[in-house]
């Protein structure tokens, strides 16, 4: 597993003038593409599952869940919370691409637990415009998973809401802990 001290292509090379992280990633892509073979898949995930998770760099979802390329749709955002845009992606995933199951994954030690909605006010003061989006900060990952499950289950746009399960990933052990929905 790589750390922030390494680039995807290995240890960070000495910086050249004009060399950026993006430049190194594009160079890594050129090496990747040199051996790339079209896997012959379409966009429909083989396991008919969509995974909604936090964007945290410590979560390697494919390895943690034993997934291979083409198995699932992966939707990530800050906190892994179910927002309007996540509902949009899940709706397309289900209605156009055949997914039937939804897995929601938050994690321990999430950055959203250390900020508040006041973040929006601070941005407004700094840039002169209040963001139209909510931060969706939370103090209790379990409760926020329950709220996200409820948002999925009650969305009128989603066809399949019977197989929605939520988890908290422990960033120190790598284990998932299932969260039961609110009763």
Output the pLDDT for position 181.
87
Output the pLDDT for position 170.
97
Decide if 78 contacts 110 (C-beta within 8 A): no
Pick the closest to residue 52 from 131, 159, 169, 139 (CA basis). Answer: 169
Pick the closest to residue 43 from 117, 99, 115, 103 (CA basis). Answer: 99
* Higher local confidence (pLDDT), 13 or 127: 127
User: How far is it, in rounded angstroms, from Cα 71 to Cα 150?
Assistant: 25
Output the pLDDT for position 122.
95
Output the pLDDT for position 2.
41
Please tell me whether the overall predicted TM-score, pTM, comes out greater than 0.85 for this model: yes
- Computed over every residue of the chain, the mean pLDDT equals 91
12 has a pLDDT exceeding 80? no
List alpha helices for the chain, DSSP H: 21-34, 61-65, 84-97, 118-127, 141-153
Backbone dihedral angles phi then psi of residue 50, each to the nearest 5 degrees: -115, 135
pLDDT tens readout for residues 81-130: 999 999 999 999 999 999 999 999 999 999 999 999 899 999 999 999 99
List alpha helices for 98-179, DSSP H: 118-127, 141-153
Confidence of residue 182 (pLDDT cuts 50, 70, 90): confident
Q: Which residue, chain included where needed, has tokens 């429909």?
A: 44
Residue 78, SS3 per DSSP: helix
18 has a pLDDT exceeding 70? no
pLDDT tens readout for residues 135-160: 999 999 999 999 999 999 999 999 99
Pick the closest to residue 134 from 146, 149, 152, 116 (CA basis). Answer: 116
């Amino acid at each position: 597993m790589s750390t922030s001290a390494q680039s995807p292509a290995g240890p960070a090379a000495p910086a050249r003038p004009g060399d950026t992280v993006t430049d190194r990633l594009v160079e890594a892509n050129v090496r990747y593409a040199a051996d790339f073979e079209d896997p012959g898949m379409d966009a429909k995930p083989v396991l008919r599952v969509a995974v909604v998770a936090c964007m945290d760099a410590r979560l390697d979802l494919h390895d943690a869940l034993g997934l291979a390329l083409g198995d699932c749709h992966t939707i990530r955002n800050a906190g892994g919370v179910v927002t309007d845009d996540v509902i949009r992606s899940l709706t397309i995933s289900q209605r156009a691409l055949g997914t039937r199951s939804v897995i929601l994954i938050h994690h321990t030690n999430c950055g959203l637990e250390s900020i508040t909605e006041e973040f929006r006010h601070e941005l407004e003061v700094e840039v002169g415009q209040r963001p139209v989006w909510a931060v969706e900060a939370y103090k209790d990952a379990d409760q926020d998973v329950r709220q996200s499950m409820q948002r999925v289950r009650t969305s009128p746009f989603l066809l399949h809401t019977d197989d929605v399960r939520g988890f908290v990933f422990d960033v120190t052990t790598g284990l998932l802990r299932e969260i039961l929905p609110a009763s």
